[in-house]
Amino acid sequence: MKKQFSRWAAAGILFVSSHLGAEPLTDLQARLASLQNDQATRIKVDIELRHKGTAPLHRSGLKRRGQATVAYGPEGVKMVEQRWLGTSHRFSAWRKSKVETETPLLDFDEAADLINPAETLQLLLSDATLLSEEAVLWQGRPVRYLVIRPGQLKALEVGIWLDETGAPLAMERSMKLGFALLNATSHQAVTFQQVDGRLLVDEARDTYSGTALAVLRGMDTKKVKVTSVR
């Protein structure tokens, strides 16, 4: 085990010495420009959404899953098909009636992020501050790991793993907001894939939790998996 760790460490040192640039964010911006998706693309996406909410004398829950087909071209994003099914439950001593609303599992902005994440990453890098840069292991391979703070979102921190060519392998971003009566935390973990020179999302997991008035609590989790690309 010690010999294996030493080999990984040595590989990481060589990786860093060979690929760390003087301007990491500038280098990443340039690499992302080469990974922009400017081709007609169609993807299928599996989606799973869960919600839990609690309050005094009140509980609610929701599970929903489905699949969407999205097309992307010169005119932007088009939702070809979206179908889903789910279950929900609610107990409340406050009221007996309930109103269920059905909302799409995938909106146009999120679909665009799945098909062309290079553009989203470039926006995050605009006026960003580099907080740290180091060599780490990601799924058993030596990679570069950058932590940045976007210029317009001071409460947000973004971690990006880069392969030996400087292309993004994965990203995590988290944000905490606190006010007098409200606290909220959001976290997103994304892995990327390359298809014919295009950067696309492979999988995204989002978690949001919040507390209001110290007694109202809720949590939402969402998993999005790109299952095919054409």
Give pLDDT, residue 121: 96
What per-residue string of b and e applies to 200-223 under the rule 16 or more CB within 10 Å gives b?
bbbbbbbbbebeeeeeeebebebb
Q: What's the whole-model pTM score? A: 0.79
Give pLDDT, residue 102: 56
Radius of gyration of the chain (CA): 21
Q: Helix, strand or coil for residue 150?
A: coil
pLDDT by residue, tens only, the chain of 230 residues: 333 333 333 334 333 433 444 489 999 999 999 999 999 999 999 999 988 865 544 456 778 899 999 999 988 999 998 887 765 544 444 444 444 445 678 899 999 999 999 999 999 998 999 999 999 999 999 999 999 999 877 788 999 999 999 999 999 999 887 666 678 889 999 999 999 999 999 999 999 887 765 556 778 899 999 999 99
Closest C-alpha to 190, from 110, 82, 104, 133: 110
Give pLDDT, residue 3: 36
121, containing H or E segment? helix 117-125
Confirm if 146 and 173 have CB atoms less than 8 A apart. Answer: no
Q: Structure tokens of 70?
A: 């999205």
Q: Structure tokens of 144?
A: 């570069």
Give pLDDT, residue 33: 96
Give pLDDT, residue 8: 35
Give pLDDT, residue 113: 96
Give pLDDT, residue 61: 73
Contacts of 65 (CB under 8 A, 6+ apart): 46, 47, 48, 49, 84, 85, 86, 105
Give pLDDT, residue 177: 74
